[in-house]
Structure 1
């Protein structure tokens, strides 16, 4: 039976796609470029004095961008401001749960391979409640402008579980397919299965990062993939649908490889700018306060753009009064500013925040 957008796609084929060459010459060329960009990113990350800079900051930027794709809109400033407290408005809290879901997935694959169960844990963390596979019929994906139905995912909990099991087997298949191509193909399949009532796009984008970590192409979740997807959001949805309607696999895989390459190159540039900013502030801080000669204090200033007195006291093993004195000295020197959030006084490293949030 041919595919029809308003009929549940229970006939969604298992992977790999039958009779389709996935690693065409253009795909292989793009794979080499993406791998080179990832290797350069890994090297740049190792040159940072404090790798926690990326591990804390990039997942928040990814959380903002991935949530924005689903029209959950907040700002990076709000996310960093509420990163430790988990507060903020509804959109900010949702985006912060994306970061939690990403870390949930990273922790999970340390103990067992990526599975459909991992996907369920990620989606449940996103929603702060248990998310099981869809059981009720009637899910339809429509064009947001025209409301025309453009896709009906498979229906029936048993059908969905079977397709997820087949997806798992493909993710861990022992063949010669490049891990980057496998990630692109598996991402399409997960989105086509659409296993949960909500959160499939965000769950799928977390899984992309986990697959790269499992493949040894990333050590930590420091790739800001969703920024590149937002820049070509219409292409993302158009090409997903083209795979379903036309088996247009090459165009889809090339798109995802370009997203990886572009994201890796952008993150590498961001690392270079972070290092320059860090060197500049460290030199000025040494002149402003005795704390400026404390390596741990400088490290704390560059893990989050918003810093708390309690964090400095704990991490630097100094009294609250000493931590407050150090931070206020940097405010007096113009390196930080202070802002009240609720009852708490936060210290903002604006130069660092600007480096993190501006496009590279």
Structure 2
């Protein structure tokens, strides 16, 4: 085993004896050597992020788009951990009454992401921020009994269900080593150096997953860390980049490449994989924004031509862009318009082929902005 990334350490004795991984602090020694392919990927990833940042600043109602994107990322990130939910579940207008454990996981991820972004105004990325975000993520959901907001005080391990410390695929650092490693990671994240932020983000994500400081929720916090770091470095101003779909699609390779660093000290292959993830994700986000922008412009023009009622219809149409599944009662309450005004606006939007009714039940009719949802549902 190459010890560039760390080494295995023996804990306890006799029948209780086991080995845990002790990671070396970042940056790697010797330093990362980028070959031609990696340099090209780095330049493509940075260029695509620049384009994404530019166009996301110019889309109409950026906040609405971002709120949809945050929900999509929350869903994908939770799906990696085995959560069974769809985008339509998350957008259900009556979600409060229909929340099950799967949906609750995703809603908590959305809250954790929003909390962390706001907290970045007061704190740098540090262990305190990660713990606070973890508390929001794990509150009252599965795993909520596993010390939300606290680093673990017992040994954890990664492996198939039923595996033990001795046959686990990977055993993270013991509790003392974990605390030390998280303190070193905090320093690395906040050190002023000339390392490209994308490489730094990739190394930080690898190190966080390797340390596995929480009893549950490490994957979701580790993926959120990437976005938070790029926002802190002002490469992104909003949460428009999410690599969960790429990691979900390449899940086996993702875990194999993390192990390759631990076993062989080969950070370079991990960095290439990470840069490819950033590049493909940024390109995907650019394509999504362009499609949504085009759809918005087409439908907005149609709404503007609706005559006297255009003002109310426009209001409902704009509401649809962050709530593409609606019912009339909740829409009228949210927008502060009468039930009849909301109902008439919905009728008009159906005539314009913007909205479709889903359920035949007259009592609690639900309407869907299908074309918009089709774009956002991609990959979920």
The aligned residue for residue 185 of structure 1 is 203
Tell me, in whole angstroms, the C-alpha distance in 1 between the residues paired with 2:316 and 2:223: 34
Q: Deviations over 1:206-227 (max 9, x none)?
A: 1111001001111011113111
Instruction: Map 1:1-360 onto structure 2 (within 5 A).
Output: 2-3=7-8, 7-9=19-21, 11-81=22-92, 85=96, 87-128=98-139, 130-137=148-155, 139-143=156-160, 148-156=167-175, 158-287=176-305, 290-293=308-311, 295-309=314-328, 312-313=331-332, 318-339=337-358, 345-359=365-379
Tell me, in whole angstroms, the C-alpha distance in 1 between the residues paired with 2:233 and 2:172: 29
Give the stretch that moved more between structures: 74-83 or 228-237: 74-83
Tell me, in whole angstroms, the C-alpha distance in 2 between the residues paired with 1:24 and 1:87: 51
Gaps of 5+ in 1: none
Q: Deviations over 1:282-317 (max 9, x none)?
A: 233345574445544332121221235466546655
Contact 1:134 1:155 in 2 (8 A): no
Tell me, in whole angstroms, the C-alpha distance in 2 between the residues paired with 1:204 and 1:83: 31
Contact 1:73 1:91 in 2 (8 A): yes
1:359 to 1:65, Cα distance in 2 relative to 1, 3 A: closer
Tell me, in whole angstroms, the C-alpha distance in 2 between the residues paired with 1:234 and 1:36: 28
The two structures have a TM-score, normalised by structure 2, of 0.85
Larger Rg: 2
Give the stretch that moved more between structures: 315-324 or 13-22: 315-324
Tell me, in whole angstroms, the C-alpha distance in 2 between the residues paired with 1:173 and 1:261: 25
Report how many residues are paired: 356
Q: Quote the offset at 1:143 in angstroms.
A: 4.1
Tell me, in whole angstroms, the C-alpha distance in 2 between the residues paired with 1:50 and 1:84: 24
Q: Quote the offset at 1:77 in angstroms.
A: 1.3
Q: Deviations over 1:257-277 (max 9, x none)?
A: 111110110011011111122
Q: Deviations over 1:62-96 (max 9, x none)?
A: 01111111111211111122596384321111112
RMSD: 2.7
Contact 2:245 2:379 in 1 (8 A): no
Tell me, in whole angstroms, the C-alpha distance in 1 between the residues paired with 2:212 and 2:122: 26
